[in-house]
Amino acid sequence: MWAEIAVSAVKVAVIAGTVLTLVAVMEWVERRGAAFIQDRLGPNRVGPLGLFQPIVDAVKLLFKEDLTPANVNRGLYLLAPMISVSVALLTFIVIPFGAGKDITVFGVPLGGIEVAPDLGVGVLFLLAIGSLGVYGIVLAGWSSNNKYSLLGGLRSSAQLISYELSMTLAVLGVLLATGSLRLDAVVARQGGQFWLGVIPQWNVVPQILGCIVFVVAVFAETNRLPFDLAEAETELVAGYHVEYSSMKFAAFLMSEYMNMVTASALIVTLFFGGWTFPGMGRFSGWPLLALSLVAFGIKLAFFLWLFVWVRWSLPRFRYDQLMRLGWKGLLPLATLNLVWVGVAMAMGWIR
Amino acid sequence: MMGTAVFYLVAVVGVVSALVAVSHKNPVVNVLSLVVTLFCIAVSYALLGAEFLAAAQILVYAGAILVLFLFVVMLLGAPEEPPVGERRPFQRVAGLALAGIAAAGSIAVLAGIRVAAPAGAAQGTAEALGRLLVGPYLFAFEFISVLLLAAMVGALMLVKRKH
Amino acid sequence: MTVPTTHFVIFAALLFAIGAAGVLVRRSGISILLGIELMLNAANLALVAFGRQHGQLDAQVFVFFVMAVAAAEVAVGLALLVAIFRKQRSIDVDRLNVMRW
Amino acid sequence: MLDLLWLVPALPLAGALVLLAGGLHFGKRTTTAVGVGSAGLALAAVAAILVQYAGMHGETVARHVFNWISAGDVTVDFALRLDPLSAVMLSFVTLVGFVIHVYSIGYMHTEGDRAYARFFAYLNLFMFAMLTLVLGANLVVMFIGWEGVGLCSYLLIGFYFDKEYCAAAGIKAFVVNRIGDFGFLLAIFWAFKVFGTVDFAGMAAALAADPTRYAAAVTPIALLLFVGAVGKSAQLPLYVWLPDAMAGPTPVSALIHAATMVTAGVYMVVRCNFIYRLSPTAMLVVAAVGGVTALFAATIGIAQNDIKKVLAYSTVSQLGYMFLAAGAGAFAGGIFHVFTHAFFKACLFLGAGSVIHACSGEQDMRKMGGLARKIPVTYWTFMVATLALCGIPPFAGFFSKDEILGRVFAAGAGNLNGFGASYLVLWVLGLAAAFLTAFYMFRAVYMTFHGEFRGTPEQWHHVHESPGSMTWPLKILAAGSAVVGLLGVGRAITFGTDLNWFENFLHRVAPTVEVEHAPSLGTEWVLILISVAVAVAGILLARRFYFGAEAFVAPRRIAERAPALYAAVANKYYVDEAYDRAVVRPLGKLAHFSWKGIDTIAIDGTLNASAFFTEIAGDLLRFLQTGNVRNYALFVLGGAVAAAAWLLL
């Protein structure tokens, strides 16, 4: 009992620490990446290559005046960023990061290194918690008592609900192929075997449609360009967080980056084999764990970079275009994918 | 042991937030309090072994239905009730009295009942529920899809602006 | 030791009564819909509790259906409210008596 | 190939659906390709199936297509059944049907594109319905086809629906058929109640297992089935629709009269022979209705002047023969006559169509004459078919008709079921009908093809032989009329050697009821000679009356001497008028009364009264309707709490 609690606590600490560090790194990556794409230098003064820039930013935000505007709804105004960060953090607990299946620490099996390995509803939990993220934005938008932020909140609530459908449908395709709601089962199914000896049996191959839908929907769910209509600087100044400053503003920023990490981790886990890597059958125990973590990290890094890349490459959608894409583009595609998976499974084309 | 403590905690929180949800003047607060109550109910589901329902409860109610409420509240500019002009004081009194009678009566009746320990065992996993849904309840399940479609079309027709 | 079924049911009964009170007392259409949601959820909770009492899953299936119906109901209800609000700039149900004899 | 049995009805259905869906936009070429093509494919499928089936020694092949009705104890499958009986039916239904399709290309080419497409759509639908009827493995599937041919006959008879008499004829056919169908439907219900199944195999097995148990039920079921057959096969008293059905285009008449529709009744009786053979009463009724109809229709036939009407009454009469055979226990004999009749009657109708075509639409034989010179192909094919119909050896009709008369006589002489005297009377009726048949058919031949032309010179100038698409079917059918009789050569003719392939083939599903004392070979030869002699006598009488210098003299004299009799025969014994007075008009009055008396006063009055009281009640109760949602909710919750309290306390 105590050993379990201790192991869980360590897991939580390690994962939360990693994620928060990643947030800081991503901030740097984003700014340097933007500069790279736009052919300029970006922050390069603090530390080697400007690597310490996030630390400086954090210090600056911490020491700025924590301003609360006069006519806001104070309780909700405070609650909104908290909800955003909590939800973003909570979603990590079911994602398997590495192969600890034959390792026990103090009699506690490590499994997939998830925080909550026994949660039978797995992905469903993730979707459920993820669907709460919208409250942070909507409440921030409403409680700020500012028409720009209200518009941002309104937009994001409609946007998130719309894209959640396609996202869930895309996930369903994977779950249908897996036959389980658990993410470690999803990963296990994709590992170890190959088509034609070279193509790993990742879900992305048979379900390329679902993968595309999922990636696009996840961009919308994280409010990233080209779907960042909730902030839309050029139209709404800064959208839902226009009235926020200091650490409360930082909370929204952090939650956005954490959501990016979650989203990337999910893409990797659902469609790109999670922590599996070719040739992993030759390893076991701690080396396997280390290699699997590395594999996961590389895949994760790619998709994190994709987020940055897309952000600085594509212009923002107009709102009606966004809705049209969601309902008339992604939703039918996701349904098609689901039907295809069902038929393929019934026919035995996918095992 | 821990489950018991959790239940009484969520019960108290759930009832209190439900009271806030129906009594507070601000509609946004109403909705948010109801989210809390529904969360408490989800936890109760989990305690009752219905883990799929618990997740679905959050996903459907907190994640979709109440967001829709919030959306409408904001769309309508969070209209508060007019402070004056209650033309039916009788309604308020009778309503409260009836609800009170219902609550008190059911507590009084239920508290006096002694039931055997629950049979338990049946775990509400997604698989078990799914087998029921596409097995004996297939017709209802299909029918629900028709209902949802009808509701969707109906809602669209209601709010569609005539050009 | 598990929590007895009666306690769950009492919890549900309380929530139901509160929801009913909300429906009866509030004049804002949104609050009334919220009250209805609360009542539905209370009924759901009671269903699940009784289902566990009998060791059956059917109750949970019903709850699932109730959720779906509730979603449909909310969609239509809120659409009605929006339509009503557009018409008379208010969602006070006491003012909705044009259909009276 | 047998697994593709469903293709046989499905192909014409597909053709019909394509034509109904796209017929408005098709040209004649496309329509022909689809309409005739689907019939041709069906014929090819049947040919392939029959070739395979020929090696199976008459086994019954049942093919389940899909579960159709499943409600409680009632399960009805859409199942098809191929056995010798349906195989025989299939062979000529598709062959004659296809030939008529081909013939229609020429006959209907003057129609507009739309009417042309509509016509072929109906024809295909007709084929589908008839094939379903033939192949159905149970009464209900058979009933689909049964109703289907009824519907199609309505559509086709009323094809020129802008002409009032065509529309009326269509409606008449439909309504009269409905009367029979009602009997059929009741029979199905009754059979289901008694046997618990409507499957032919199932019913036969139940009857074979325990005949006494169902003894009480077989007679009413058999009689109700026969009511259906009487309607569909135009027997007394429901024959009246068939002569009127001439209003349709001639290929339709041929299709309805020769191959399909009217033979359905005979087919059904034979199909259900396992029921009939257990009910002597029903057998006698079938035979009596058939025999009386045969003579009755033949007497009407002698005084008709419309060439198609003559053929129509001849059909009624020949159908009577078929029922006479079935009623005498010669089920295979009845079907054999159906088979041969299909060829010569189709040939006669198409020949009549060719004549009408040649005479620019003229149907009255009094305005024809001498056509043999101008349209020799039509004349010779018509002649062959006529000889077949009259029962002149060695043409097809001789074998089948002789078989029937022989069996009826045997039934009488052998005292079948104790009704020997009745069967002997029926035999005499049959002989008389054979005499009249020969008479009126040669009357038609002489009036049409011999003597001088009695129409206008302009018409005479216009007379021409029909195109190949019309004459080739005639030749094929004439050849069939000449030779198909050899399939069922009676035992007596071959001096006891069993060469009757047809009867042996059908023996498994429709065995002939044998009488105890079969007539001797000598007796049978005497019978054959009698029937041939009777036919020849009829021909000679017709020659005396309508050929040569004294043509038409004798008939006119008879008509002058007995004007009442002549008028009665020429006006078809006033049956239509009698029906009009006895059935149609009282029904009209009843309908009028239902409208004015019952509907307007009683029903509307009750409704208005209830509406009135509802209104008063509403006026009083509306004070409860405050229009306030919360108020309603309060009432609801109050009621719920009260109900709960009442339940608990």
Neighbors of chain B with 3 or more C-beta pairs under 8 Å? A, C, D
> ipTM for the complex?
0.74
Residue of D430, D407, D82 whose CA lies nearest to D271: D82
Q: Does D627 touch chain C (CB under 8 A)?
A: yes
Asked whether D123 and D35 are in contact (CB, 8 A), the reply is yes
Give the other-Cβ count within 10 Å of D150's Cβ.
22
Q: How many helices (H) and strands (E) does chain D have?
A: 28, 2
Q: Which domains does chain C have, with CATH numbers?
A: 5-95 (1.10.287.3510)
| Cα separation, D418 vs D515, whole angstroms | 11
Assess whether the previous peptide bond of D280 is cis (omega < 30° from 0). Answer: no
Enumerate the residues of chain A whose CB falls inside 8 A of the CB of residue B32: 76, 135, 139
Residue of A61, A56, A55 whose CA lies nearest to A20: A55
Which residue has tokens 């008509």? D559
- pLDDT at position A112: 65
Enumerate the residues of chain B whose CB falls inside 8 A of the CB of residue D634: 91, 94-95, 98
User: Which residue from C minimizes the CA distance to D618?
Assistant: C101
Q: Does D648 touch chain C (CB under 8 A)?
A: no
User: Going by beta carbons, is chain A in contact with chain D, meaning 3 or more pairs sit under 8 Å apart?
Assistant: no
Assess whether the previous peptide bond of A287 is cis (omega < 30° from 0). Answer: no
Alpha helices (H) along D233-330: 241-244, 250-254, 262-271, 273-276, 280-301, 307-327
Which of C18, C41, C56 is the closest to B38 by Cβ?
Answer: C41
| Cα separation, A227 vs A229, whole angstroms | 6
Which residue has tokens 């109550």? B37
| Cα separation, B126 vs B138, whole angstroms | 16
3-class secondary structure for chain B? CHHHHHHHHHHHHHHHHHHHHHHCCCHHHHHHHHHHHHHHHHHHHHHCCCHHHHHHHHHHHHHHHHHHHHHHHHHCCCCCCCCCCCCCHHHHHHHHHHHHHHHHHHHHHHHCCCCCCCCCCCCCCHHHHHHHHCCCCHHHHHHHHHHHHHHHHHHHHHHCCCC
Which of C23, C94, C101 is the closest to D628 by Cβ?
Answer: C94
Question: How would DSSP label each residue in A69-129?
Answer: -TTS-HHHHHHHHHHHHHHHHHGGGG---S-EEEEEETTEEEET--S-TT-TTTHHHHHHH
Helices A285-311 & A208-221, crossing angle to 10 degrees?
A: 70
- pLDDT at position B87: 63
What is the enclosing helix (H) or strand (E) of D73? Answer: none
B8, B20, B22: best to mutate for the C interface, most C CBs within 10 A: B22
Residue of B11, B30, B8, B13 whose CA lies nearest to B21: B30
B21-67 per-position pLDDT tens digit: 888 888 888 888 898 899 899 888 888 888 888 888 888 888 888 88
- Averages of pLDDT over each 10 residues, chain D, 649 residues: 79 87 80 86 88 79 77 77 85 86 82 84 89 87 88 85 83 85 89 84 83 82 88 82 80 77 86 85 87 87 83 87 86 86 86 83 79 83 88 82 84 77 86 88 85 78 78 85 79 69 77 74 82 86 77 74 74 75 81 83 88 89 75 85 84
- φ and ψ at residue D452, rounded to 5 degrees: -95, 150
Enumerate the residues of chain C whose CB falls inside 8 A of the CB of residue B86: 27
| Cα separation, A52 vs A43, whole angstroms | 9
Which of D631, D640, D644 is the closest to B91 by Cβ?
Answer: D631
**Can you give the pTM of this predicted structure?**
0.56
Q: Does B125 touch chain A (CB under 8 A)?
A: yes
Please list, in sequence order, all residues whose beta carbon lies within 8 angstroms of the beta carbon of residue D209, skipping any fewer than 6 positions away: none
Which of A130, A157, A181 is the closest to B126 by Cβ?
Answer: A181
The chain-wide mean pLDDT, for chain B, equals: 81
Neighbors of chain C with 3 or more C-beta pairs under 8 Å? B, D
Enumerate the residues of chain D whose CB falls inside 8 A of the CB of residue C101: 622-623, 625, 627
Cross-strand bridge partners of residue A111:
A100
B139 to chain C nearest CA, in Å? 12
What is the enclosing helix (H) or strand (E) of A32? Answer: helix A2-37
Asked whether A301 and A138 are in contact (CB, 8 A), the reply is no
Q: Counting one residue from B and one from D, how many pairs have CB atoms under 8 Å apart?
A: 27
User: Which residue from D minimizes the CA distance to C16?
Assistant: D637
* pLDDT above 70 (res B84): no
- pLDDT at position D57: 74
* pLDDT above 60 (res B121): no
| Cα separation, A128 vs A130, whole angstroms | 5
B15-31 per-position pLDDT tens digit: 999 988 888 888 888 88
B35 to chain D nearest CA, in Å? 24
Asked whether D503 and D336 are in contact (CB, 8 A), the reply is yes
Enumerate the residues of chain C whose CB falls inside 8 A of the CB of residue D630: 23-25, 27, 32, 93-94
B2 to chain D nearest CA, in Å? 35
D615, D624, D630, D641: best to mutate for the C interface, most C CBs within 10 A: D630
- pLDDT at position C9: 86
- Averages of pLDDT over each 10 residues, chain A, 351 residues: 78 83 86 86 80 83 81 82 86 78 70 66 80 83 81 82 86 84 80 72 82 89 79 74 79 86 87 79 77 86 88 84 87 89 80 63
The predicted model gives B108-116 an average pLDDT of: 77
Written as one letter, the residue type at D271 is R
CA angle D385, D386, D389 (to 5 degrees): 90
C2-56 per-position pLDDT tens digit: 778 888 888 898 899 899 888 888 878 888 889 999 999 999 998 888 888 888 8
User: Which residue from D minimizes the CA distance to C28?
Assistant: D630
| Cα separation, A108 vs A93, whole angstroms | 17
